[in-house]
Amino acid sequence: MRVRKPKQETSIDISSLIDVLFILLIFLMLAVRFTEPTSTISIDLPKSKTDQFGTESIPLRIQLKSNGELYKNQIKMDIETFANSLEMNTDGNLGVSLEVDQHTEFGTFVQVTDILKSKKYLKIDIKTKKE
């Protein structure tokens, strides 16, 4: 008669696996950046339900045309002249009315807003055409 060997109990100790999973979870939670949306302005700015964003009357009016022309208070100028003619906003209370044509190059828009930011103009009303 043959003697049978008792079956060995096969089990896996998962306590170390749980520790590793918790460490990975903590790493992922620390590595992921939780950021707010970078922009709340839609891409198609000229079409909106209102005439403009903001309600203040602004003494400085800047217009960007689709052909690259820039106007400051109805006076045509280039980017360099605009940057040199713009005064520093020392108290931070002055605002700017910015009118941008729908087909203006985005690079021109970024240049103008960068100049405004460097001169401490932080209140910018973006005017659009009403639908």
d(CA 11, CA 8): 9
The number of domains in the chain is: 1
CATH number for the domain spanning 113: value is 3.30.420.270
Cβ proximity of 89 and 120 under 8 Å: yes
Q: Would 7 be classed as within a structural domain? A: no
Domain that includes residue 56, residue range: 47-130
Cβ proximity of 68 and 106 under 8 Å: no
Taking the whole predicted model, whether its pTM rises above 0.85 is answered as no
Q: Would 3 be classed as within a structural domain? A: no
Going residue by residue through the chain (131 aa), what tens digit of pLDDT does each one get? 677 777 777 777 777 888 899 999 998 888 876 655 544 433 344 555 665 555 555 678 888 888 888 888 888 888 888 888 888 877 777 788 888 888 888 888 888 888 888 888 888 887 766 55
Q: Would 75 be classed as within a structural domain? A: yes
State the Cα torsion 76-107-123-36 to the nearest 10°.
170
Q: Would 32 be classed as within a structural domain? A: no
CA pseudo-torsion sign 40, 41, 42, 47: positive
Q: Would 2 be classed as within a structural domain? A: no
Q: Would 54 be classed as within a structural domain? A: yes
